[in-house]
Homo-oligomer: A and B are copies of this chain.
Amino acid sequence: METKDGIKKIVIIGGGFAGINLIQKLQHDKRFHITLVDKNNYNFFPPLIYQLATGFLETSSICYPFRKLLRGKKNVRFHMGELLRVDPATRTCYLNNGELSYDYLVFATGTETNYFGNENIRRNAIPMKTVNDALEMRNTLLKRLELACVINDPAERKKLLTIVIAGGGPTGVEISGMLAELRLYIARKDYPELQGHGGDIYLINGGDALLEPMSTKSQKHTYDSLRRLGVKIKLNTRVKDFVDDQVILSNGDPIDTKNLIWATGVTACTFEGIPAASLGVGRRMITDEYNEVTGVDYIYAIGDSSLQTHEEAFPKGHPQLAQVAMQQGKNLAKNFIAMANGRSLTPFRYTDKGSMAIIGRNDAVADIPRPKFHVSGFLAWALWLVIHLYSLINYRNKLKTMYNWTVAYLTMDQALRMIIKPINKPPDPKPAEPKPAETRPVVQV
């Protein structure tokens, strides 16, 4: 299967943390010809999605076009497209807009929102996973706020203003903290009509602590801080259903609201051609210690889409975190180079660099593993800002984000509150012909 000139064709599906770290270690190595396939034309930074959703950052602060990122890297090509099917026998990827043959195929496809089969929730809740989800959340909440200003029925108004967040992980905590602060500092100034008509913010968590994998100290600090901001927290509780403007909790209690933000539950993306036996818990692809998928040849999985159980500390697989994805991307790159050099491979070994979450202005929590310590409040918040700014993909992102954060901090304000609606063309006099996929309406930032 080797090409005549000995160059190995690597196809990488997905340009998130895992895929980009893999590419960055292989770029300029002429023994590889790399094609990055992604359904979006940009890389984005998921840890800051919630700031996009709440209007503190704009799309260009957390997104960066692949073609600019890969510019000048002669052995890397970008192909915007969606993987439909893999044929491991002929080593071919079938995309929605072409075919690619490969020597090695790498899945860095991450996860998608899991509604656990609940159709009502899937249809009516606001997910919080992609750039588009975030923009949709911003638009939806802003529209409902405007509607609340002009409506006369107090019960309807309360439904518009009440927000339920399902999931007490970092995203749920960060979203509820930020919405609570928006209510305190901004809604008061800009929506005088709503004085005294506040809705509630609920944070619903299935487990018995917020930020489950973090230290007890961090969990307690987070709980207390959010309570102080006015967030109503319900632990050991799940969202069971969402019908007729009512969120139904697992204990049967209803909450009247139009807004359910779904920040709980993800599942790996699956693709035709990968046998069911190769999939483990959460549909993640079962891989060996070198990230090769079991049951198929020449196919690898890294990041959230991979399930590796060889490390003693992680018998159920690694947590689905950016750090794991980045480290797996780098390790696989090292192994591809080792293969090309005829050297032995390095098994993946995860180094925990700690975890953190932001709660609000001047408040965050951080657990650092070595030396083991816990920090919260202003210091953790400053640390969070520095690390996230540092991690953004390029200089322009960093500068913009710093600017936005500085203005937001100094003014206790956020400016990004435009509701951008899809085109409202006049109604068709005759039924519109179905448009080819390529021209379906795309709307954006």
Q: Which of B64, B124, B428, B442 contacts A415 (CB 8 A)?
A: B64
CB of A253 within 8 A of chain B? no
Asked whether, in the complex, the Cβ of A432 is within 8 Å of the Cβ of B123, the reply is: yes
Asked whether, in the complex, the Cβ of A417 is within 8 Å of the Cβ of B65, the reply is: yes
Chain A contact surface mostly: mixed
Complex CA–CA separation, A403 to B58 (angstroms): 15
CB of A228 within 8 A of chain B? no
Interface bracket on A: 35 or more
Q: Which of B133, B193, B443 contacts A139 (CB 8 A)?
A: B443
CB of A155 within 8 A of chain B? no
Contacts of A79 in B (CB 8 A): 149-150
CB of A361 within 8 A of chain B? no
CB of A63 within 8 A of chain B? yes
Contacts of A150 in B (CB 8 A): 79-81, 95, 97-98
Q: Which of B68, B95, B131, B190 contacts A68 (CB 8 A)?
A: B190
Q: Which of B59, B64, B142 contacts A58 (CB 8 A)?
A: B59
Contacts of A422 in B (CB 8 A): 132, 136, 422, 441-443
Contacts of A77 in B (CB 8 A): 193
Contacts of A67 in B (CB 8 A): 190-191, 417
CB of A29 within 8 A of chain B? no
Complex CA–CA separation, A190 to B65 (angstroms): 10
Complex CA–CA separation, A143 to B42 (angstroms): 12
Contacts of A95 in B (CB 8 A): 150
CB of A157 within 8 A of chain B? no
Q: Provide the A49-85 mask, 1 if CB < 8 A to any CB of B, else 0.
A: 0000000001110011101100100000111110000
CB of A444 within 8 A of chain B? yes
CB of A146 within 8 A of chain B? yes
Complex CA–CA separation, A403 to B84 (angstroms): 41
Asked whether, in the complex, the Cβ of A418 is within 8 Å of the Cβ of B119, the reply is: no
Q: A59-B445, A67-B191, A396-B415 are in contact. List 8 more A-B contacts (CB 8 A).
A: A42-B417, A42-B419, A59-B418, A65-B415, A68-B413, A71-B189, A78-B149, A136-B444
